[in-house]
Amino acid sequence: MKVKKRSLSAFLWGIFYLAMIDLAVNLIFPYPKDPRDIAPSTIQQYFEFGRSVEGKYARMTRKTNDESAPIVSSGWLENQEDHFLAKDRNYSDKPIVTVYGMSHAFYLADDMAKIDNTLTIRAFCAPAAVPSWSFTAYSIDKERQHSNVVILAVLTSGVPLISTTSGGTAFFDSSSPYTYPRYFLSNGILKHISPPFISVDGYREYFFDSEKWKEYLNWMKENDKYFNDLLFRKTILDNSSVFRVLRRAYASAAKRKKVSAVYDDAKGFNDNSDEVKILKAIVIEFAKNARRDKSLPIIYIANNINTSDHLFRLLESTLKTYEIPFLSSHIICPPNDPRNFLPDHHFIPSLNIKIAKAMTKIVHDNLNK
């Protein structure tokens, strides 16, 4: 009996001290309440990463863009930007080149604009955009602005996430609310299902209406492979710093498990996965649509750090079969050499310039054919 009492006492004291630690962390390292404050400390970020996606959205979202965190208005497929990088809009005599993709794509476009004034460069990009977002961006944008050259960027780490539908399910730590369709193959034909909204105004309309938000959650449950109630839904447990740390660990493990079914650093991609089949279909459809619209299609393969040339090997036969011009970063920036990357895993500036020069050469060579 005494042993049981001691065990119970130790357990209760453990819970008490854990609760005190939890409370102390929240008091000493509170996350900034102002959503426009985008420079929290490292320790503040560490304990915030594990907040639910809804909890993150609630922190960052207000009724207007001016009141909300900047990330809220980023990445939306429907927006009013013209995507031109140069201030000079006198482009009637210059070929227009539009780049679609993630931040690597934006850096490519930005450097191309700096080094080649014979081209008019546009960039339609989103934070960590996956191939399904980029292809949809192209499909929407081509109806508004014809480009002589269209470049679709694909990042190694984005391929397993083709089965996601938002920045919230694709990237738990750095959730952002922008959305995109879920692509799938039906009898070999590429099809998609669109989310209820693809604009920041549509997001606010749903987020601040509980019934509409419930409708959106149900849509994700049916169509987003990475949707997880425990990670997405806001609960009282969001107030616990300890639980947030545990939730982040769970999120990381759950994502690794899903990604491993598609990609492995040592073995490369699983050719039989739905994501790989969809990616190849997207690349083919992109090239066909571009050529039909009298645009030159180019694929930009951006290889993440420590991913070798697996993505290039995956797409090589498709690119050659359909005679699609391409540039793979592994040629200029060997992925397995960490010296080629910044701490945030982007290419170092000098290599970005080399990649941009190589891409402009591909553009000119193909336009002059």
**Residue 70: its pLDDT value, please?**
93
The pTM (predicted TM-score) of the whole model is 0.91
> Mean pLDDT over residues 285-291, rounded?
98
Q: Is residue 210 part of a domain?
A: yes
Q: Which domain holds residue 209?
A: 96-367
> Mean pLDDT over residues 14-29, rounded?
62
For the chain, the domain total comes to: 1
Rounded to whole angstroms, the Cα distance separating 43 from 46 reads: 5
> Mean pLDDT over residues 112-119, rounded?
94
Q: Is residue 83 part of a domain?
A: no
Q: Is residue 198 part of a domain?
A: yes
CB 322 within 8 A of CB 287: yes
CB 35 within 8 A of CB 61: yes
- The model's pLDDT over 121-149, given as tens digits with 9 standing for 90+, comes to 999 999 999 999 999 999 999 999 999 99
DSSP letter, residue 208 = T
Work out the pLDDT band at 19, boundaries 50, 70, 90.
low
Q: Is residue 112 part of a domain?
A: yes
CATH number of the domain where residue 346 is located: 3.40.50.1110
Q: Is residue 150 part of a domain?
A: yes
Q: Is residue 292 part of a domain?
A: yes
- The model's pLDDT over 188-233, given as tens digits with 9 standing for 90+, comes to 999 999 999 999 999 999 999 999 999 999 999 999 999 999 999 9
Work out the pLDDT band at 49, boundaries 50, 70, 90.
confident
CB 52 within 8 A of CB 247: yes
Q: Is residue 53 part of a domain?
A: no
Q: Where are the beta strands (DSSP E) in 202-265?
A: 263-264
pLDDT for 53 beyond 90: yes
For the CA atoms of 309, 133, 260, 304, what is the dihedral angle to 10 degrees? 30
